[in-house]
Amino acid sequence: MSRKQITGIGPAPRTGADDSGCPILHVDMDAFYASVELLERPELRGRPVIVGSPAGRGVVLSATYEARAHGVHSAMPMSRARRLCPQATIIPPSHGKYAEVSKGVMEIFHAITPLVEPIASDEAFLDVGGARRRLGPPAAVAAMIREQVLDRFGITCSVGVASSKFVAKLASKQCKPDGLLVVPAGQVVDFLHPLPVSALWGVGERTEQSLVRLGIRTVGDLARVPPATLQRELGQAAGGHLAALAWGRDERPVTSHVPDKSIGNEETFAADVDDPEVIKRELLRLSERVAARMRKAGHVGRTVSVKLRRADFSTITRSRTLREPTDVAQVVYATAVELFEAAGLDRVRMRLVGVRMENLRPAAEATRQLGLGEKETGWREAEQAMDKAIQRFGPDAVLPASLVRGKLDEIET
């Protein structure tokens, strides 16, 4: 496999860039899901491959760089991706394989430093300042990580090495795929200012349009605007945030544990659905998944939220805060159904539904108070027993009766 090594910045990157003030790494797997799939399909290397639903519903989960050359990118509707790259091979996702590789990659990171902040299953920040004496300078550690990931899993990653998280993430993006880029602490401004303003965190499509109207197209343009002007145009917080980033100021440390803010799942139907019973069955399936994930993470939550997307892509969300926090699927499901029914979408064709739990807290800190004469339902104990059976025998080992009937209906049709 190829190995791209870039150190320093500018039109002619030089080797041996000064990484002495650059303890932060951003490691990002290259086309992660697609790369994992190609391990079992080596004949597809060098060809456009898309990971997503073969039926054309849902969105692109991953795409090889050959597919990206045709304009395909993650989160794009599959229908559009197929139009842009009709010659692509479509592979349905295998989330279990991705989770297994992700776990192994994170083990490599944690063997190097305890300061690992995962952002997703395929990327993380590392602070390797404390590993210098044992493993060498940051660039050497970055190179070692790349070699270990390649040797152990047969996939590539790109690494940005910088003085801050913000610049390290930009650096890893700049050197993709399969690259390593060091941005010396003294050359951050030289690296940032030629970049388009859309490269900054917090600059979405609307903000970019507002900046372009002000004649601001590059980070350098933004840096020359007085912070007070940005705050007046974009708001106090956003303006101050972008003014700091334009000069590379980002004081956030690498945090080894970031608490989950919410846990959710959603599903795009293979065909638009207007049958309330089918929609409720999917809400039950999603509630089971969300509750199981919460129990595994040791969380309970108080706020249940549902996402309902019509066939015309218009989307509404509804939420309700419970009296007591819960990790019980039956409680989540009952609330989700009430929210769905209250939305008044009976017999409306639906494209997607989702269930999410918010307002999370550690389960150990939550105690449930029973009302006078109220009895425990036993649902929590039953679902914990289901967790154990599923862990031992697989995801379909134990299912609620309505989901079993749903599977039988699918088989019959």
User: Which residue carries 């913000």 as its tokens?
Assistant: 166
Q: What are the angstrom distances between the C-alpha of 168 and each of 10, 77, 107, 125? A: 16, 29, 21, 8
374 catalytic residue (yes or no): no
Q: How far is CA 410 from CA 170, 300, 389, in A?
A: 46, 33, 24
Tokens 């595994």 sit on residue:
296
293 φ/ψ sector (left φ>0, alpha ψ -120 to 50, else beta): alpha
Q: Of residues 37, 123, 288, 383, which has the active-site annotation?
A: 123
CA nearest to 117, candidates 233, 46, 25: 25
N- to C-terminal Cα separation, the chain: 45
Query: Which ranges in 298-412 belong to alpha helices (H)?
Result: 329-342, 379-393, 401-412
Q: Which two tokens stand for residue 412?
A: 């019959």
pLDDT at 355 over 50: yes
Quick check: 402 and 337 in contact, CB under 8 A?
Answer: no
Helix H segments across 154-302? 165-174, 188-192, 205-213, 219-223, 227-234, 236-246, 276-297
State pLDDT tens for residues 88-123: 999 999 989 999 999 999 999 999 999 999 988 899
Beta bridge partners of 90: 50
Is the pLDDT assigned to residue 2 strictly greater than 70?
A: no
Binding site listing for Mg(2+): 28, 122
Task: Please say if the pLDDT value at position 253 is more than 90.
Answer: yes
- Each residue of 57-89: pLDDT tens digit? 788 999 999 999 999 999 899 999 999 999 999
Question: How far is Cα 339 from Cα 351, in angstroms, rounded to an integer?
Answer: 17
Q: Express as a percent the part of the chain with pLDDT over 90.
A: 62
- Rounded to the nearest angstrom, the gap between the alpha carbon of residue 402 and the centroid of all alpha carbons in its chain is 31
For the chain, domain boundaries:
1-188, 193-246, 262-368+376-412
Q: At what angle do helices 95-112 and 32-40 cross, to 10 degrees?
A: 110
Annotated binding-site ranges: 28, 122
Q: Which CATH class is domain 1-188?
A: alpha beta
Q: Cα(220)–Cα(192) distance, rounded to whole angstroms?
A: 7
For residue 210, name the pLDDT band (cuts at 50, 70, 90): confident
Instruction: Give the Cα separation of 44 and 292 in Å (integer).
Output: 35
Distance of alpha carbon 105 from alpha carbon 30, whole angstroms = 13
193-246: CATH topology: DNA polymerase; domain 1 (1.10.150)
* Predicted pLDDT at 347: 86
Burial of 230 (0-12, 13-18, 19+ CB in 10 A): buried
H-helix or E-strand containing 141? Answer: helix 138-153
pTM of the predicted structure, to 2 decimals:
0.69
Q: What CATH number matches the domain at 262-368+376-412, 3.30.1490.100, 3.30.70.360, 1.10.3720.10, 3.40.50.720? A: 3.30.1490.100
